[in-house]
Amino acid sequence: MTAAASPPWVDGLTIGEMLRETARQSPDADALVFPQLDRRWSYAQLDADVDRVARGLLALGVDLGSHVAVWATNWPQWVLLQFATARIGAVLVTINPAYRAFELQYVLKQADIDTLFLLDKFRGSDYRAMLNEAAPELAGCDPQNVQLKDFPKLRHVIAIQGEPTVGMSSWESFLKGADAVSDTELSQRESHLNHADAINIQYTSGTTGFPKGATLTHRNLLLNAYYIGQCQQLTAADRICIPVPFYHCFGCVLGVLGAAVRGAAMIIPAEHFDAEATLAAIATERATSIYGVPTMFIAQLDHPTRSTLDFSSLRTGIMAGSPCPIEVMQRVVDDLGAREITIAYGLTEASPVITQTRTDDPLELRVKTVGRPLPDVEVKIVDPATGEELGDEQQGELCARGHLVMLGYYQMPDATAAAIDDDGWLHSGDLAVRLPNGYYRITGRIKDMVCRGGENIYPREIEEFLYTHPAVGDVAVVGVPDAKYVEELAVWIRLKPDATLTEQDVQQFCRSSLAHYKVPRYVKFVTEFPQTVTGKIQKFKIRETMIAELGLDESETA
């Protein structure tokens, strides 16, 4: 464990209090910049707009601890709602914008959503149509009094863009409601908040086949945001380019909160990752820090406009989500100028960062390790079978303890007990070794997980969905190496007698109800699976077979 040099100024504060203090210290500094929308907020303006949105939530009757969900790409309303929910003590539930109706239905019910804010459309996703598919009763509801049999907690649905459809309110009418709530009422609500309160539920795919809602506190998030900024040596003079999604901890914690605790600017290139927009935003807004997973950096490095732009302002940033090849890291340093880029490792359940490299670490350490623990975080390596703590250079499960550990999974006590032991250690499910210098290297996974382009996917979730197809008798999903996404999904399917399916049928079935990154790239129909003597499918043999048949390179993934 690395001890903090001095107590972080945010420790003991709520997220709302943190924003007020940053706005007091840097009122005129850029807080939030959307170049493509030609909009920007100073910290004073952001704080004032957050107050208005917070009063709008109070006007809806959103109580302490109520669950408010946002289902959208990276829009200004997302940031306003993140701070506003925290300011009134509501729990922000982040919904992946790639979710389909099947997944939305699950989250709305499992998370006890009280209020839902949603986008209208993005690319091939029609969010309103999917909501109506998940909750067809909504079309007959009064927007001021939503009552749905399958979702008894849901009372309000607000469209953050365009004219609302039946059963929904508009963003503009929502904001008008703020006029009925005084600043005094808002202050009274704020006085009841505590930094240890639950404030965010982030969904992560579950080994049980269903996503689990990691419940995080003000303190969890603020200390993580503070320390990841410290590892980058961020100050109020920095400008962070954030092309990663807000729904994920990378965007809303390391990005939004990481900037706010330092008084740095948040630069949002586009509503979804776009290499050209990201490069343009770095250059025109003079970004000093850039975030992303390796595939994002590769797309920027290979984009034809890169050589025409000036990246001399860029200094640092965070790369996370997947192992980074040394050639890519070298190009990020040489071609983008991010000479002090850092590598971070963690889990949603850990708020999310556990270990991080520092700006002055040699390049080799930033490629071959995931750094050392954040200050005041304990990390140990244990034998997965016995729980015995292991020494340096011994492979075992990485466990963490400290301010970053979630409260637990929402309404999943058994899953919580499996993840956090009686001594408060969070078990990552990842295999790692500790080097003699105190840095950690991730070596594999205990959990049956696939990491595709920075998205963690648990095959069991996809398998259970495929079992709902009437033609599927048995199924096994594995990850296989991929040059672009590090890993891709492959599925073996044994059909029921006399049933027929094509590869395209399987992919379309998944595409209709699952996020795009969960759609298997490879589909193979088989009559039997490799099994142990007890009948357990040997997925490692499936993976080996697919690698051989497809001529894939095993070295492309960890």
The dihedrals phi and psi of 116, each to the nearest 5 degrees, come to -120, 125
Domain contains 370: no
Domain contains 396: no
Answer yes or no: is pLDDT of 445 > 80: no
Domain contains 35: yes
Q: Are residues 311 and 457 in the same domain?
A: no
Domain contains 385: no
pLDDT at 101: 94
Q: Give the residue from 335, 351, 380 where a domain finishes.
A: 335
Domain contains 243: yes
What length does the chain have? 558
The rounded percent of the chain whose pLDDT value lies above 70 is 97
Section 160-167 average pLDDT: 91
pLDDT, one tens digit per residue, over 234-245 is: 999 999 999 999
Domain CATH for 528: 3.30.300.30
Q: Are residues 323 and 459 in the same domain?
A: no
Domain contains 286: yes
Q: Give the residue from 312, 335, 358 where a domain finishes.
A: 335
Question: Residues near 28 by Cβ (< 8 Å), separated by ≥ 6?
Answer: 42, 43, 44
* Region at 386 (left for phi over 0; alpha for psi -120 to 50; beta for the rest): alpha
Answer yes or no: is pLDDT of 554 > 80: no
* Region at 124 (left for phi over 0; alpha for psi -120 to 50; beta for the rest): alpha
Domain CATH for 286: 3.40.50.12780
| pTM (2 d.p.) | 0.86
When mean pLDDT is compared across 31-35, 48-52, 148-152, 441-445, the lowest value belongs to: 441-445
pLDDT at 263: 98
Collapsing DSSP to helix, strand or coil, 69 comes out as: strand
Q: How many domains does the chain have?
A: 2
Edge-first strand listing for the sheet containing 316-319:
39-42, 30-34, 265-267, 239-241, 289-292, 316-319, 340-346, 353-356, 372-373
pLDDT, one tens digit per residue, over 196-235 is: 999 999 998 654 467 899 999 999 999 999 999 999 999 9
**Tokens 């594995």 appear where?**
478
Domain that holds residue 63: 15-335
pLDDT, one tens digit per residue, over 353-382 is: 999 999 999 999 998 899 999 999 999 999
Domain contains 342: no
Q: Are residues 168 and 302 in the same domain?
A: yes
Cβ–Cβ < 8 Å for 353, 326: no
Domain contains 435: no
pLDDT, one tens digit per residue, over 486-529 is: 899 999 999 988 999 999 999 999 999 999 999 999 999 999 98
Considering only residues 323 and 48, tell me which one the structure prediction assigns the higher pLDDT.
48
Q: Are residues 321 and 458 in the same domain?
A: no
Helices (H), 61-140: 76-88, 101-110, 127-134
pLDDT at 209: 60
Cβ–Cβ < 8 Å for 116, 155: no
pLDDT, one tens digit per residue, over 381-405 is: 999 889 999 999 998 999 999 999 9
Beta strands in 244-319 (DSSP E): 265-267, 289-292, 316-319
Q: Give the residue from 335, 360, 390 where a domain finishes.
A: 335
